[in-house]
Structure 1
Amino acid sequence: MARRKTATKGLINELAVQLKLAKDPNIIVFTPLGGLGPIDIVTLNMQTNEYTAYDVKTKNYRGKDYTPKDGYKRNSKGSLINRQTTAEQKKLKVKIIYP
């Protein structure tokens, strides 16, 4: 059940980003057929003929503070967890986008 809930949230966020990008009349939005792979959305700007690849991430926040071995407590509760691109995404110049 938990996996289905997070997958649904991810799908909703992908659709929200697609809608946001599609509001620009100069941009055409493409999505992968199977929904698998390092890229979630590809856009084509009709004026500049520029392709941009995006990976949509859902915003997640830290639930508790972190205390490492050195004992210095980092007050990070409630802060956004930043996601990084994978090596394959870096090679493809994929941008991470949050809804």
Structure 2
Amino acid sequence: MSPIFLQPKTLWLQKQPKYSRKSTPRRNKLDLYAIIKFPLTAESAMKKTEDNNTLVFIVDVKANKHQLKQVVKKFHDIDVAKVNTLIRCDREKKANKTGII
């Protein structure tokens, strides 16, 4: 049997710098008005709107589903049931929202 060498546990203290490394906090580039770019008005999108009660938008690529849900609820007064997203071949993000008006 070989000997076992144990490293003693040491206390890790939180860093307390003398000055801040950043002069100003980072600006949020993705505000509520920049998330949704425009609604999609293609024939397939219109069919989804009529048949499935679903809205289709072109949105910012960096936006996630929670942000999309909040924006649609705020600006369109719709309770969103589900959000589906995909990134199209032209590098735009498309979002489908099934909602209850």
The TM-score bracket by the shorter chain reads under 0.3
TM-score by length of 1: 0.28
TM-score by length of 2: 0.27
Structure number having the greater strand percentage: 2
